[in-house]
Chain A
Amino acid sequence: MSDETELVHGVAVTRPRGETVLHPSREQYVVLISTLVDEGYLMCVDLTAADYLRHPGRTDLPEGIEPERFELVVGLLNHGTRHRIRLRIQVPEDDPTVATLFELHPGTEALEREVFDMFGIGFDGHPDLTRILMPEDWQGHPLRRDYAVGSIPVQFKGAPSHR
Chain B
Amino acid sequence: MSTTDTTRGTDQGAQELLARGRTSAIEELRERGAVLRMSEAAARSYQDEGGAASDTMILNMGPQHPSTHGVLRLMVELKGETVLRTKPVIGYLHTGMEKTGEDLTYLQGPTNVTRMDYASPLFNELVFSLATEKLLGIEAPERATWIRMLMCELNRMASHLLFMATNGMDLGAVSMMIYGWREREEVLRFFEKVTGLRMNHNYIRPGGVAADLPDGWRDDVIRLLDTLPSRLDEYDTLLTGQPIWRNRLQGVGVLTTEEALALGTTGPLLRSTGYAWDLRRDEPYLAYDQVEFDIIVGTYGDCFDRYAIRLAEIRESMRIVGQILEKIPNGDYRLQDKKVTPPPRARIDESMEALIHHFKIFTEGFKVPEGEAYAAVESPRGELGCYIVSDGSAKPMRMHIRGPSFVNLQTLAPLMQNGFIADAVAIISSVDPILGEVDR
B407-A54 in contact (CB<8A) = no
B18 at interface (Cβ–Cβ under 8 A)? yes
B165 at interface (Cβ–Cβ under 8 A)? no
B387-A107 in contact (CB<8A) = no
Give the residues in chain A near B355, CB-CB below 8 Å: none
How big is chain B's contact interface, by range?
A: 35 or more
Q: Which residue of the partner chain, among B30, B96, B99, contacts A106 with CB atoms under 8 Å?
A: B30
B383-A82 in contact (CB<8A) = no
CA distance A119 to B383 in the complex (A): 24
Give the residues in chain B near A75, CB-CB below 8 Å: 374, 385, 387, 402
Known pairs A17-B137, A48-B402, A149-B103; A110 contacts B373 (CB<8 A):
no
A111 at interface (Cβ–Cβ under 8 A)? yes
Stretch binding the partner chain, chosen from B66-74, B208-216, B259-267: B259-267
Complex interface bits, A15-51 against B, C-beta within 8 A gives 1, otherwise 0: 0110100000000000000000110101111101011
B90 at interface (Cβ–Cβ under 8 A)? yes
Give the residues in chain A near B266, CB-CB below 8 Å: 45
B37-A127 in contact (CB<8A) = yes
Q: Looking across the interface, which residue of chain A has its beta carbon closest to that of B98?
A: A143
CA distance A45 to B261 in the complex (A): 10
B22 at interface (Cβ–Cβ under 8 A)? yes
Minimum CB–CB distance from B48 to chain A (whole Å) comes to: 18
CA distance A36 to B15 in the complex (A): 13
Dominant SS among interface residues on chain A: loop
Q: Of residues B98, B406, B407, which shows the largest number of chain A Cβ atoms within 10 Å of its Cβ?
A: B407
Task: List residues of B (411-440) whose CB comes within 8 Å of A's CBs.
Answer: 439-440
Give the residues in chain B near A128, CB-CB below 8 Å: 35, 37
A50-B389 in contact (CB<8A) = yes
B263-A106 in contact (CB<8A) = yes
B39 at interface (Cβ–Cβ under 8 A)? yes
CA distance A92 to B415 in the complex (A): 38
B29-A17 in contact (CB<8A) = no
A143-B99 in contact (CB<8A) = yes
CA distance A50 to B371 in the complex (A): 12
How big is chain A's contact interface, by range?
A: 35 or more
Task: List residues of A (36-91) whose CB comes within 8 Å of B's CBs.
Answer: 37-38, 40, 42-46, 48, 50-52, 54-55, 58-60, 73, 75, 79-80, 82, 84, 86
Q: Which residue of the partner chain, among A51, A111, A132, A149, contacts B398 with CB atoms under 8 Å?
A: A51
Q: Looking across the interface, which residue of chain B has its beta carbon closest to that of A71?
A: B389
A142-B374 in contact (CB<8A) = no
Task: List residues of A (103-123) whose CB comes within 8 Å of B's CBs.
Answer: 103-111, 114, 118
CA distance A20 to B402 in the complex (A): 18
Complex interface bits, B385-413 against A, C-beta within 8 A gives 1, otherwise 0: 10101010000011010100011011000
CA distance A48 to B40 in the complex (A): 26
Minimum CB–CB distance from A89 to chain B (whole Å) comes to: 13
CA distance A80 to B350 in the complex (A): 55
Q: Which residue of the partner chain, among A16, A109, A136, contacts B39 with CB atoms under 8 Å?
A: A136
CA distance A85 to B362 in the complex (A): 35
B385-A46 in contact (CB<8A) = yes
Give the residues in chain A near B262, CB-CB below 8 Å: 105-107
Contact sample, A vs B, 17 pairs, CB 8 Å cutoff: A16-B371, A16-B373, A17-B371, A42-B261, A45-B264, A45-B266, A45-B376, A48-B387, A50-B400, A54-B391, A60-B370, A75-B374, A79-B275, A84-B374, A105-B264, A132-B91, A133-B94
Interface residues of A (CB under 8 A from B): 16-17, 19, 37-38, 40, 42-46, 48, 50-52, 54-55, 58-60, 73, 75, 79-80, 82, 84, 86, 103-111, 114, 118, 127-128, 130-136, 142-143, 149
Q: Which 10 A-B pairs have the closest CB atoms?
A: A107-B264, A55-B391, A128-B37, A107-B263, A133-B91, A50-B398, A46-B402, A133-B94, A48-B400, A50-B389
